[in-house]
A and B are shown apart, each in its own frame.
Chain A
Amino acid sequence: MNKLKLLGFLSVFIISILVLVIPLGIRYAHGDPLFASGLTYYNMRASEDLSSGFVFDNLQGKPHKLSFFHYLLYPLINLLGENNLFIIPIILGVLSSVLFFLVCELFFDDERGAIIAGVAFVLSPIFIYLFTSLTPYTFATPLFLLFVYFFLIKNNLSILFLAFLSITNFSFFVLSVILVAFESFYHKSKNFFLINLIPSIVSLFIFLYFFHNFVDFELLSPSFSSFFISFGAKIGVAFFYLFLGLLGFFIISQQGRPYNYLLGSTMFVLVASLFTVGGKILLNFYLCIFTAVMILFLIKREWAIMTIKRFTLLLIFCGLIFSTALYSDQIIVSQPDNNLEKALVFLSLEPQGKVFSYQEYGYFIEYFSNKSSFLDNSFDGDLNSTLRTTENNIFYSRKLETTTTLLDENEIKYFLITPDMKTGLVWKKSEEGLLFLLKNTNSFKKIYDYGGVEIWTYPVGFQSEIRS
C-alpha cells in the first residue's frame, strides 16, 4: 500500500468516526436517547416482536413490514444490549466509507480523487442520516458497496452480497440491478451479471415465500422539500454538493466516450432519487464522485492568482463542512429528548390505552411506553389521510362535544403534549384548540408534567356515559 493510499484510507476512516460520534456523543451528553430517527425505534420494536414469533404489530393492529435486516437486528440487540446498539451503525458507516474509498480508487487515475470523494462522502448529510440510525438502508448501503466493489473487480463474492441486498431492501436492490445491468451491457460482460442476478432473485423468492410481509417498493412523491436538506428533508441532497456535482458532471461530460456510462447512469439515478430513498443514496455516491472531479480539476488547474485558488478551495471545504454541521445540528436537537423519554417511561407504567400526540412521535410512544399510538408514520394511503383529518379535528377543535365524540370513537385515552407542540409544531397560541379544552374543562386530568412534557388522561367512553 503506497503512502498516499494509506493516508487516504486513514483520513476517511478517522473523519467518518468523528462525523458519526460527534452528534451521538452530544446527544449522550445531553442525556437524550442516542437515536434521533423514529424509524430506528420502529425497527427495534419490530425485531423484538419477530424474535417472539410475531410478524403482526399488536400495538398498531397491522402486520410489520419486515426484511432480512430485522432478522439480523434482534440477535445484535441481544448481543450488545439496547444501550450499546449505536456501535452497529458506526461500524457499518466506517465500513461503508472505506468501501466507497476503495470503489472510487477503481474510478480515479489520481489517488487524490478517491481521497476527496471518500471525504466528501463521509461529510455528506446522507451519510450522517444513514449511520446515526438503524434502518434497512443502514444495512443495505454497505451491502451495496460490497457488491459493487467485488463486482467491479470481478470477484464471485459479489453474488453473496447481491443476494443479501435483495432481501434487505427491495428498492435498493432493483436500482442496483438496473445500474449494473447497464454497466454489464455497456462493457459486454453479460455473463458475470447474470451469474450475480440469478442467485439474488432466487433468494428473494425464497424470502418472499417464507415471509409474506417483506417491505415493498416505497415510492415518494417528488418535491423540493423532500429532496433538499436545506428545505427540511430528513434524507436528501445538500445544495452545495449538487452545485459542485453539476460542475464535476460538466467537466466529465467534456471527456467523451469513456465516461458515457457514468453520465448516462447519473441521469437515471437523478430521476430515481426523486421517487425513492435508495435513489437518493445512490445519487449521493455520484455527487461525491463528481465533487471530487471538480475539486481535483481546481487543484490541478494552473491558476493565474494563487490567492484565489487557496480561498476557493477553502470556501469549498467550508461549504462541505457547513452542510455537515447543519445536518448534525438537526440530529442533535431532534426528538426524542431526555424529557420526552422520561414522560414515556412514566406512561409505560399506566394502564393500557391509545395515546394521542403529534404524528412524528408515534414510533417513540410505541417503543418507550409500549402503548399504541393514534397515528404514526407507518400508515399510508387513505387510512393515513383519514386519521390525519381526525388528528387535525382533535388538535384544533374547541368544542368539547366534537372532541369527546372523536376521542370515544377512536378510543383515545392519553394525550402526550411537548413544548415543541405548544410553540409552533401544532399550536401557535397557548389557548388554542385542544389546549383550551384540556385546561378549561373537567373531562381531562393531567397525570404528568415534567420538563414541559405533559400527559393528560381522558376516560374512554366519557361522552357516551354523559349521554346515557
Chain B
Amino acid sequence: MFTHSSAFLLIVGLLLFLLLLKLESFDANKREQELILFVTFLALWFNFIVYKNALLIHGPLVIWQNIPLQVLTNYFFNLNIIQSIYYIGLIPVILGIYAMYYALFESKKRTLLLLISLFLSILTLLLLKLISFRIGLIFLGLILVILSSHSLKLIYSYIKKTKMPAMADWFLLVIFILFCLTAVMPSFNLAFSSLENTPSVAEINALVWLNKNTANDSVILARPEEGYLINYFAKRKNVLDQDYLLVKDAQQRYDDVQSIFSLRLKTEVIRKLNYYDVNYIYFSEKFSREKNLYYVDDDCFDLVYNESVKIYYVRCKLNE
C-alpha cells in the first residue's frame, strides 16, 4: 500500500471480489466490506499525496509513468498467451485454471473467489495495457501458484479415494518434476540472463574513476540503463536514468541521449551535448549496438579513460 502504486491492483481486485460475491449470492460479510472500503480510501488518499506532483505535470497520462515511447512498447506490451505461460510456468497455469473452474462452478468457495477476483483484475488491466507486463506477470504468477496448490490438494485427495491410493504420491512426484522442468528451469535461465545486466568490475572501475577524477558538478552522459550507476558509483549528475516520472521532457531527452550514441555529425552532437551541459560521455558497449562513437576526434573530445569502457571529456562549445 505505501510502497508501490500497484496497490491499485489490490483495490480493483477487492471491488471485483464484492461484485463476484453478489453474483454468487453470498451473504455480504460486514467486516470484509468495511476493510475493503477502508483500504480503498487509504490507497486513494495516500497515492494522491505521493503522486501529487506527477499528476499535476502529466495529468491522466501519469498511468504510463511518462515513459518514452520506445521504452513504453517494451513495458506495456500486448498480452501474449504463449509467452505468459512460459514465464509463469505450464503447471501453475493448468492447475490454477482448474482451481478457478472448481471454485466458480463446483464448490463456490469464498476464499478462492478473492484470489479469482485479483486474477481477473490483473488480467483485465494487462489486456488494457494499464499495468506493466512484468508487474502483471509477477502478480498473476503468484495468484496462480496459490490457486494451483488448491487444485493439487483436490486431485491428491481424489486419487487417495480411488482404488489406487498409492498413486497419489507418484502423482505429486510427477507434478514436482514437471514443475521443475517447466517453471524452475526457465526461472534459472531468466535469473542468469538478468545477471548479465549487473555492472562488471571494469564498469565499476570506470565509474569510480569518474568519481575520483571529475569535478563534483560534472554532468555525465550515459545510456538511461546506466543512469543509476552514474549516480551511485560516480556520484555525479546524469542526463537521464530510468526514473522518467518527474522528468518534464523525458521523450526529448531519451531521443537526444540515444541519438548522441549513434549520430555521425559532430556539430549536431555538440549542440545536444551543450544543451544538456554534458562534460563527460560514458561509453560502454553493453547497451549499444555501436562499437565506438563515430564523431569523436582530438579537436573536441579527449579520451580520458580507455579500458573496456571509454570516457570522453567534451571540450567544444557551439556558438550559434
Chain A residues within CB distance 8 Å of chain B: 224-225, 228, 230-232, 239-240, 243, 298, 302-305, 308-309, 311-312, 315-316, 318-319, 322, 326, 398, 424, 428-429, 436
Q: Does B37 contact A (CB under 8 A)?
A: yes
Per CB-CB distance, the 10 closest pairs between chain A and chain B, nearest first, are A231-B59, A304-B30, A224-B60, A225-B59, A315-B41, A230-B55, A308-B34, A319-B45, A304-B31, A312-B38
Q: B172 contacts which chain A residues (CB < 8 A)?
A: none
Q: What's the nearest-Cβ distance from chain A to residue B96, in Å?
A: 32
Q: B190 contacts which chain A residues (CB < 8 A)?
A: none
Does the CB pair B45–A232 fall under 8 Å? no
Q: Does B49 contact A (CB under 8 A)?
A: yes
Residue of A nearest to B49 (CB): A322
Does the CB pair A232–B56 fall under 8 Å? yes
List 7 other contacts, CB 8 Å, given A224-B59, A319-B48: A224-B60, A231-B56, A302-B30, A303-B34, A305-B31, A322-B48, A428-B248
Q: Give Cα distance in the complex from A207 to B31, angstroms.
A: 61
Q: Which of B31, B35, B52, B56 has the most CB of A within 10 A?
A: B56
Residue of B nearest to A320 (CB): B45
Within 21-45 of B, Cβ neighbours of A (below 8 Å) are at 30-31, 34-35, 37-38, 41-42, 44-45
Q: What's the nearest-Cβ distance from chain B to residue A329, in Å?
A: 10
Which of A239, A315, A398, A436 lies in contact with B38, CB distance below 8 A?
A315
Q: Does B298 contact A (CB under 8 A)?
A: no
Q: A224 contacts which chain B residues (CB < 8 A)?
A: 59-60
Q: Given the known A-B contacts A231-B60, A304-B34, are A316 and B41 also in contact in the complex, defined by CB atoms under 8 Å? A: yes
Give per-residue flags for B275-300: 1 if the beta carbon is below 8 A from chain A beta carbons, else 0: 10000000000000000000000000
Q: Give Cα distance in the complex from A107 to B55, angstroms.
A: 35
Does the CB pair B38–A319 fall under 8 Å? no
Q: Does B106 contact A (CB under 8 A)?
A: no
Q: Does B196 contact A (CB under 8 A)?
A: no
Residue of A nearest to B33 (CB): A304
Residue of B nearest to A428 (CB): B249
Q: What's the nearest-Cβ distance from chain B to residue A247, in Å?
A: 9
Q: Give Cα distance in the complex from A428 to B239, angstroms.
A: 14
Q: Does B320 contact A (CB under 8 A)?
A: yes
Q: What's the nearest-Cβ distance from chain A to residue B102, in Å?
A: 30
Does the CB pair A232–B38 fall under 8 Å? no
Q: B249 contacts which chain A residues (CB < 8 A)?
A: 428
Interface residues on chain B, number (Cβ under 8 Å): 21
Q: Give Cα distance in the complex from A424 to B44, angstroms.
A: 29
Does the CB pair A319–B44 fall under 8 Å? yes
Does the CB pair A239–B30 fall under 8 Å? no
Secondary structure class of chain A's binding surface, majority of residues: helix
Q: Give Cα distance in the complex from A326 to B48, angstroms.
A: 11
Provide 12 A-B residue pairs closer than 8 Å at the C-beta atoms, listed in order of the A residue: A225-B59, A228-B59, A231-B60, A232-B56, A232-B59, A302-B30, A303-B30, A304-B31, A311-B38, A316-B41, A322-B45, A428-B249
Residue of B nearest to A399 (CB): B320
Within 45-97 of B, Cβ neighbours of A (below 8 Å) are at 45, 48-49, 52, 55-56, 59-60
Q: A428 contacts which chain B residues (CB < 8 A)?
A: 248-249
Q: Which of B49, B55, B59, B249 has the most CB of A within 10 A?
A: B59
Q: What's the nearest-Cβ distance from chain A to residue B222, in Å?
A: 21
Q: Give Cα distance in the complex from A322 to B44, angstroms.
A: 12
Q: Give Cα distance in the complex from A191 to B320, angstroms.
A: 75
Q: Give Cα distance in the complex from A311 to B42, angstroms.
A: 9
Q: A315 contacts which chain B residues (CB < 8 A)?
A: 38, 41-42, 45
Q: What's the nearest-Cβ distance from chain B to residue A129, in Å?
A: 16
Q: Give Cα distance in the complex from A318 to B42, angstroms.
A: 10
Does the CB pair A230–B48 fall under 8 Å? yes
Does the CB pair B59–A318 fall under 8 Å? no
Q: What's the nearest-Cβ distance from chain B to residue A440, in Å?
A: 10
Does the CB pair B45–A240 fall under 8 Å? yes
Q: What's the nearest-Cβ distance from chain A to residue B228, in Å?
A: 23
Q: B52 contacts which chain A residues (CB < 8 A)?
A: 230, 326
Residue of B nearest to A326 (CB): B52
Residue of B nearest to A329 (CB): B52
Which of B31, B37, B41, B320 lies in contact with A398, CB distance below 8 A?
B320
Q: B42 contacts which chain A residues (CB < 8 A)?
A: 315
Q: Give Cα distance in the complex from A318 to B37, angstroms.
A: 15
Q: A298 contacts which chain B residues (CB < 8 A)?
A: 37
Q: Give Cα distance in the complex from A103 to B91, angstroms.
A: 62
Q: Given the known A-B contacts A239-B44, A304-B31, are A429 and B38 also in contact in the complex, defined by CB atoms under 8 Å? A: no
Does the CB pair A309–B34 fall under 8 Å? yes
Q: A302 contacts which chain B residues (CB < 8 A)?
A: 30
Q: A318 contacts which chain B residues (CB < 8 A)?
A: 45
Q: Given the known A-B contacts A225-B59, A429-B275, are A239 and B34 also in contact in the complex, defined by CB atoms under 8 Å? A: no
Q: Give Cα distance in the complex from A178 to B204, angstroms.
A: 70
Does the CB pair A240–B44 fall under 8 Å? yes
Q: A429 contacts which chain B residues (CB < 8 A)?
A: 275
Q: Give Cα distance in the complex from A309 to B35, angstroms.
A: 9
Q: B49 contacts which chain A residues (CB < 8 A)?
A: 322
Q: B31 contacts which chain A residues (CB < 8 A)?
A: 304-305
Q: Give Cα distance in the complex from A315 to B275, angstroms.
A: 46
Residue of B nearest to A430 (CB): B277
Q: Give Cα distance in the complex from A311 to B49, angstroms.
A: 17
Q: Give Cα distance in the complex from A303 to B44, angstroms.
A: 22
Q: B248 contacts which chain A residues (CB < 8 A)?
A: 424, 428
Which of A231, A304, A312, A436 lies in contact with B55, CB distance below 8 A?
A231
Residue of A nearest to B62 (CB): A231
Residue of A nearest to B42 (CB): A315
